[in-house]
Structure 1
Amino acid sequence: MNIAYTRFQSLTFDSLQPIYINAICIHIFTTIVAMPYSKTKSNSMKWTREAIVNKQELSKESTVYHYRLLKRIHYSTILNLIYWGILVSMLARELIHLRPYAMLLGIAFLPLLHALLIYLHITLKEKRPLTHWQFRFRLPWLGLAPTNHIGLKRFRGLQMQVFWVTIMIIGCFYPWAPLDMISLFFVHLWIFLPRLIILFRLRKHSSRGFIKLNDKDTSCYSQ
C-alpha cells in the first residue's frame, strides 16, 4: 500500500497531460461523428410520424372504389371508316343537287344542341356541376360525354331524353322549313345510332352497371 501511494505521489501534471489530451480528443471526435447520425435519426423519425399522420388522414377522408369488369365493347376501325363513308356519300349527294346546307347545318349544329340539352339536364334537373364531362370529336360518343364512371341506367336515360327531345325540336320547325331539312333527321340518327347499339348490348347490366367511355372501347363495370 505504501508503494502504491508513493507511485501516485510521483505522478505529476506533466505526466498526466497526454492522458487528458487524448481523452479530450476522443470526446470531441465522438461528438462530431454522432451529431449527423442523431440529426438523421431525428429527421427520419419526423418523416415517419408525418407519413403515419398523412396515411391516417387519407384513410379517413378518402373513399376507394373497386370496379369489376362486366363487359367490354371494342370499336372497330373498319366499321368506323365505313360509317363515316356513309355520311360523306350523303353529303356528296347533297352537293350534286346543290342543296348541302341542311346537312352541313346538322353536322355543325346538332352536337352542340345535344351538349346544351345534357348541360341543362345535369345542372337544372339533377342539380349537379358539369364536372368530368368533355367534348369528344370521335364516334360513337361524338359530342359531350363523361370522362369518369357513370351509372349505366342514368346515362342511358339521359341519352334517350336527348335523342327524343332533339327529334321533337326538329319536328317543331318542320312545317315552316323546306323539305331539305329532313337531312337533320338523318344526321341526328347518324350520330345516335352507334351509341344506341352499344347501350342495347349493355341493357342487361343497367340495374347495377357503371359505364366508362374510353378511346378504343366502352366498358361496363360493377362495384
Structure 2
Amino acid sequence: MSVEPNSQATFYQYKLLKKVIFPRPFVVTFLLLPLFCVLTTIITIHWTSVFSFVLAFPVILWFQLAISRAVLIIVIHSHRKRWEISYKLPWIGYVPDQHVSYRTFLKVQLHTTWIGLCLIAILFPWSPLSFAVNMIFWHVWIMLPRYYGFLLLCKQPKGGMVKLNEQDISYYMP
C-alpha cells in the first residue's frame, strides 16, 4: 500500500480522482418521488393503483437482476465475485460491492436501462395501465442515482475504477 504525504486518498494502487456525494436536496427529492408517483397514479388512474405500485417494485428488481447478470456473464464472463443485491438507498438493486471497472459498470447500467425499458414496452399491451406506468417509474427511479453519478464523472479520464459507498460514488485511477 502506498502512502502519500499529501491529503489525496489512496486505495492500494488506486488514486482517488473524484468523489461524488449526493447533495441533501437530491436525496430528499429522490425519497419523495415514490410518494408523488403513487399519489399521481391514484388520482389519475384509480385507487387500486397502490397494489400495482407495490407489485411493480419486485418485478423491476428481478428484471434488472436478470439483465445485469446476463450482461456481466457476456461482458466479463463472471459475476459472482464483485456484485451483490443491495437494498440500501441509493444503491438499490444489483450493484458492485468492490471496485469495478468504470466501463464495465457503465455497460451494465446502459444495457439494464434499455433492455429493461424494452421488456416493459413488450409487456405494456398485456399489463394494466397502472402496472405499466409503475414499472416504468420504478425502473427509472432505481437507475437515477447511477446516472447522476455518471453525469458528474463523465469528464474524468477513462480507464478508472468505480466504488459505490453508502452515500457517494468514488472514482479511482490505477
Higher helix share: 1
- Aligned residue in 2 for 1:76: 23
Supply the distance in 2 between the matched residues of 1:79 and 1:205 (Cα, whole angstroms).
Answer: 22
Q: Per-residue displacement from partner, 1:45-78 (whole Å, max 9, x unpaired)?
A: xxxxxxxxxxxxxxxxxxx950111100113345
**Segments of 4+ in structure 1 off by > 6 A?**
none
- Aligned residue in 2 for 1:112: 62
- Aligned residue in 2 for 1:167: 117
How far has the Cα of 1:190 moved from its partner? 1.3
- Aligned residue in 2 for 1:23: none
**Highest CA radius of gyration, 1 or 2?**
1
1:214 to 158, 165, 173: 165
User: Aligned letter for 1:68?
Assistant: K
Alpha carbons of 1:206 and 1:116: their partners in 2 closer, same or farther (altered >3 Å)? farther
Q: Is 1:123 equivalent to 2:70 in the alignment?
A: no
Q: Is 1:153 equivalent to 2:100 in the alignment?
A: no
- Aligned residue in 1 for 2:144: 193
187-196 or 86-95, which moves further after superposition?
Answer: 86-95
Query: Which blocks of at least 5 consecutive residues in structure 2 are unaligned?
Result: 1-10
How far has the Cα of 1:95 moved from its partner? 4.6
Supply the distance in 2 between the matched residues of 1:151 and 1:93 (Cα, whole angstroms).
Answer: 39
Alpha carbons of 1:206 and 1:147: their partners in 2 closer, same or farther (altered >3 Å)? farther
Question: 1:102 touches 1:183 (CA, 8 Å); kept in 2?
Answer: yes
Supply the distance in 2 between the matched residues of 1:200 and 1:129 (Cα, whole angstroms).
Answer: 25
Supply the distance in 2 between the matched residues of 1:164 and 1:124 (Cα, whole angstroms).
Answer: 16
Supply the distance in 2 between the matched residues of 1:189 and 1:117 (Cα, whole angstroms).
Answer: 15
Question: 2:90 touches 2:167 (CA, 8 Å); kept in 1?
Answer: no
The alignment of Structure 1 onto Structure 2 pairs a total of residues equal to 160
- State the secondary structure of the residue aligned to 2:162: strand
- Aligned residue in 2 for 1:5: none
User: Aligned letter for 2:152?
Assistant: R
Higher strand share: 2
Question: 1:123 touches 1:130 (CA, 8 Å); kept in 2?
Answer: no
Root-mean-square deviation (CA, aligned residues, Å) is 2.0
How far has the Cα of 1:168 moved from its partner? 0.3
- State the secondary structure of the residue aligned to 1:148: coil
User: Aligned letter for 1:185?
Assistant: I
Supply the distance in 2 between the matched residues of 1:84 and 1:140 (Cα, whole angstroms).
Answer: 9
- State the secondary structure of the residue aligned to 2:88: coil
Percentage of identical aligned residues? 24
Alpha carbons of 1:129 and 1:176: their partners in 2 closer, same or farther (altered >3 Å)? closer
Query: Which blocks of at least 5 consecutive residues in structure 1 are unaligned?
Result: 1-63
Supply the distance in 2 between the matched residues of 1:117 and 1:174 (Cα, whole angstroms).
Answer: 18
